Amino acid sequence: MKDSAAKTLMITGAGRRFGKALAEHYLALGWRIIAHYNSSNELEAELDPVQRAQCLFVQADLSCENSVQGMIQQVKESGWSLDGIVHNASGFEPDQKNASDWQRSQRMMAIHVLAPQAITMGLINHINASGCIISISDIYADMPNQRFAGYCASKAGLQNLSLSLAQRLAPKIRVNVIQPGPVKFLPEHDQSYRDKVLSQSLLKRELGYEPLIQACDYLLAADAVTGSVMRVDGGRFCANRYEQHFIE
């Protein structure tokens, strides 16, 4: 990538998992990071003093409007202009089979749709020309899953919002979407679950965070790419998900 010494990236959900790995990657490249977290901030404790000085840590509950607006104001008051935003923060909860859980679905819509929209529009005048916004969606934004209907619907909303923002913010700011697949399993996922998920992908392996970081590197630098949806899923979306037999 080009010299990035003066560049600044805001990452939501930067306190752990992929958001943390992404923040560490760009800190190593010399970027300044605005690192949002909600309740868990594993990033700060692992940084050396030089890296910590490159970070602005902002806490916010993205399901709460007042908390989001307070974070936006804190970013504005920092005086840091942004070269990119990665809307990475996520909530992941299964539906109840025979019930409509209004509050749970409302919370996921707030985290995945309302908060990214508020953050983007609230900081629009603080994003540099040729800046880039990346939304981390999910392959299930395009693939219904009855067990996680609320989650999938909210991720589909994030994806549609992002493509609409690509239209609205062009040509100054680019907006793109990344759809992850089986990137990193959670500790509670047992081996049978992992085997089943990986059997449904073409590469048949846990991808890790590096492919997503590579995708962010590309999208942040690719100044002719906007309004795109990039699948980083090991071919899971394309894989055959049904039993098929050729007729002899």
Distance (Å, whole) CA 135 – CA 130: 16
- Contact between 25 and 213 under an 8 Å Cβ cutoff? The reply is yes
Question: Does the active-site annotation cover 151?
Answer: yes
Alpha helices in 79-131 (DSSP H): 102-109, 115-122
Distance (Å, whole) CA 152 – CA 4: 35
Nearest 10 degrees: Cα torsion 215, 219, 225, 226: 100
Among the listed residues 26, 37, 151, 209, the single catalytic one is 151
Distance (Å, whole) CA 17 – CA 21: 6
Residues designated as active site: 151
